[in-house]
Amino acid sequence: MAKPPFEQDLVSMVSSLIHLRTIGEELRKKPFAIPRMEAALRESLGAFADLTSSFERTEETLQREAQPYLAQWLTAQGLQLGGEAVFEGTSALGVARVRGGLSVVRLCPNMIFGRRCVELILEDATFAVGALPGYTHFETLGQAQLSPVLNGVQGVRIPVTKDGYLGRHLSVPDALLDRHVVRITLPIKQTDIDSLVRSSHFRRI
Amino acid sequence: MATKNTKLEATLVSMTGTLVYLRDLAATLAAKPIVPQSVTSHMPKTAAEIAALKLQFDSALRVAHQEAQPFVDEWLRLVGLQVGGVIRGTMGHRISSRTDVLTFEGGIAHACLHHYLVSGVRVMSFTLEGARISLSDGSSGALLSELKDSLNRGHFNTTAMRETIDDDAEAATKVRKLHVHVPVQARMREDWVRGHTLQLM
Long-range pairs, B74-80, Cβ under 8 A, ≥24: B74/B5, B74/B8, B75/B5, B75/B8, B75/B12, B75/B124, B75/B184, B76/B111, B78/B1, B78/B2, B78/B3, B78/B4, B78/B5, B78/B8, B79/B3, B79/B182, B80/B1, B80/B3
- Please indicate, yes or no, whether residues B98 and B155 belong to a single structural domain of this protein: yes
Q: How far is B36 from chain A (nearest CA, A)?
A: 6
- Please indicate, yes or no, whether residues A88 and A170 belong to a single structural domain of this protein: yes
User: Is the CB of B35 less than 8 angstroms away from the CB of A16?
Assistant: yes
Give how many domains chain A has, as a whole number: 2
| Out of B32, B50, B60, closest to residue A58 by CB | B50
- Please indicate, yes or no, whether residues A66 and A93 belong to a single structural domain of this protein: no
- Please indicate, yes or no, whether residues A174 and A132 belong to a single structural domain of this protein: yes
User: Is the CB of A8 less than 8 angstroms away from the CB of B21?
Assistant: no
- Please indicate, yes or no, whether residues A60 and A88 belong to a single structural domain of this protein: no
For residue B11, list chain A residues with Cβ-Cβ distance below 8 A: 36-37, 40
Span A139-153, pLDDT tens digits: 777 777 777 777 532
Give the Cα separation of A161 and A151 in Å (integer): 15
Domain containing A112 equals: 84-204
Would you place residue A71 in the very low, low, confident or very high pLDDT band (cuts 50, 70, 90)?
very high
> Complex ipTM, two decimals?
0.73
Reported as type and span, the H/E element at residue B109 is strand B98-113
**Domain ends where: B22, B50, B79?**
B79
The mean pLDDT of A166-179, rounded to a whole number, is 48
Residue A19 has pLDDT above 80, yes or no: yes
Interface membership of B40 toward A (CB under 8 Å): no
Domain containing B126 equals: 86-200
Q: Strand B161-168 and strand B140-141: pairing?
A: unpaired
Sign of CA dihedral B9, B12, B14, B17: negative
Interface membership of B45 toward A (CB under 8 Å): yes
Give the Cα separation of A123 and A170 in Å (integer): 13
- Please indicate, yes or no, whether residues B124 and B25 belong to a single structural domain of this protein: no
More confident of the two residues B46 and A200: B46
Would you place residue A154 in the very low, low, confident or very high pLDDT band (cuts 50, 70, 90)?
very low
Span B33-88, pLDDT tens digits: 778 777 888 899 999 999 899 899 999 999 999 999 999 999 999 999 999 999 99
- Please indicate, yes or no, whether residues A137 and A155 belong to a single structural domain of this protein: yes
Please give the model's pTM, rounded to 2 decimal places: 0.76
| Out of B11, B45, B60, closest to residue A51 by CB | B60
- Please indicate, yes or no, whether residues B97 and B192 belong to a single structural domain of this protein: yes
User: Is the CB of B56 less than 8 angstroms away from the CB of A50?
Assistant: yes
Span A23-70, pLDDT tens digits: 888 888 877 777 888 888 889 889 988 998 898 899 999 999 999 999
Give how many domains chain B has, as a whole number: 2
**Domain ends where: A15, A43, A76?**
A76
The mean pLDDT of A61-86, rounded to a whole number, is 93
